[in-house]
């Protein structure tokens, strides 16, 4: 097997043999790392608090989505709650299957959905593919979360996860808050919304690219493992497959 093939299959972050020390010496090193971990947690808490104080943008535009329950507006998607999280899943019109990286993230959604409603949060997945193209893939993957289509509206374009015809013509797309090279007609993201007692809806937050890492519980497990994520740094997710495509 070529070295390049080996890297693709096993990752490139091969673990160097660490120093072997006594339990006492290990404990000193572990406590030093614990100090840094605690500081990281404090910084993460402060960042989360800052995220919650971002100003909001009122949404006056009407969006109508198509799903298994028929047509629904954006306020309908809240399902009686005041907070809505939307995952923008890469599945465009005419695609034979969903993006494998989005599928990797989506494998974690059903577990979270046992608990999110208890905190006044509804999670909905939205793609631009028509609903009759979404449902076969969702059935194949065995997912239970709500998944609707934005095919008939501008939602994906307004939240900069689908390239407009003008962007495709230019070969550039506004994504992750900057204009760059168009790498795909569809890209991933997450957006959060709030609905007040008067039924008005506000956009509170959106994140893209590596801002989505925190959704991947598998990555968090791997970060505890001796070799970490063990990915190819030039193509970090080349090892990922849809869960029904891994070898037994």
pLDDT reading at 6 higher than 80:
no
Q: What is the pLDDT of residues 203-218, one digit of tens each?
A: 999 999 999 999 999 9
Name the helix (H) or strand (E) containing 101. Answer: helix 100-106
Query: What is the radius of gyration, based on Cα positions, of the chain?
Result: 21
Which residue is it, tokens 């093939």?
A: 5
Domain 56-215 has CATH 3.40.30.10: yes
Positive or negative: CA dihedral 96, 134, 206, 173: positive
d(CA 232, CA 11): 5
d(CA 125, CA 89): 6
d(CA 208, CA 86): 12
162 in Cβ contact with 156 (< 8 Å): yes
Q: What are the b/e assignments for 196-230, b being 16+ CB within 10 Å?
A: eeeeebebbebbbeeebeebbeebeeeeeeeeebe
* Strand ranges in the chain using DSSP code E only, listed in sequence order: 57-58, 64-67, 70-73, 83-88, 121-127, 146-149, 172-175, 178-181, 189-195, 201-208
pTM: 0.91
Positive or negative: CA dihedral 199, 204, 209, 211: negative
Q: What is the pLDDT of residue 17?
A: 79
DSSP-derived 3-state class of residue 231: coil
215 in Cβ contact with 108 (< 8 Å): yes
Q: What is the pLDDT of residues 144-158, one digit of tens each?
A: 999 999 999 999 999
Q: What is the pLDDT of residues 21-49, one digit of tens each?
A: 999 999 999 999 999 999 999 999 999 99
Pairing verdict, β 57-58 and 146-149: unpaired
Q: What are the C-alpha distances in Å from 211 to residues 1, 164, 205, 235?
A: 35, 23, 12, 17
Nearest to 149 by CA among 62, 59, 242, 72: 72
End-to-end CA distance of the chain: 21
**pLDDT-based confidence at residue 194 (cuts at 50, 70, 90):** very high
Tokens of 57: 């943008």
Mean pLDDT of the chain: 93
Name the helix (H) or strand (E) containing 99. Answer: none
């Amino acid at each position: 097997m070529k070295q390049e093939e080996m890297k693709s299959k096993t990752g490139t972050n091969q673990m160097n043999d660490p120093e072997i020390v006594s339990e006492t010496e290990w404990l000193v090193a572990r406590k030093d790392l614990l100090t840094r971990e605690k500081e990281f947690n404090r910084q993460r808490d402060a960042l989360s608090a800052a995220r919650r104080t971002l100003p909001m943008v009122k949404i006056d535009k009407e969006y109508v989505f198509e799903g298994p329950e028929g047509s629904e507006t954006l306020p309908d998607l809240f399902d009686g709650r005041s907070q809505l999280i939307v995952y923008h899943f890469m599945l465009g019109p005419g695609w034979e299957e969903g993006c494998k990286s989005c599928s990797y993230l989506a494998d974690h959604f059903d577990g979270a959905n046992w608990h999110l409603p208890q905190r006044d949060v509804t999670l909905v997945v939205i793609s631009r593919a028509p609903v009759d193209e979404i449902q076969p893939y969702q059935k194949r993957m065995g997912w239970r979360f709500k998944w609707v289509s934005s095919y008939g509206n501008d939602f994906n374009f307004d939240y900069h996860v689908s390239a407009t015809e003008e962007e495709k013509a230019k070969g550039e797309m506004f994504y992750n808050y900057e204009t760059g090279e168009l790498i795909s007609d569809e890209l991933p993201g997450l957006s959060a919304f709030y609905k007040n007692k008067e039924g008005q809806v506000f956009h509170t937050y959106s994140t893209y690219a590596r801002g989505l890492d925190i959704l991947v519980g598998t990555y968090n497990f791997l970060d505890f493992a001796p070799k970490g994520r063990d990915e190819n740094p030039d193509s970090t997710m080349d090892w990922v497959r849809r869960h029904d495509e891994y070898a037994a």
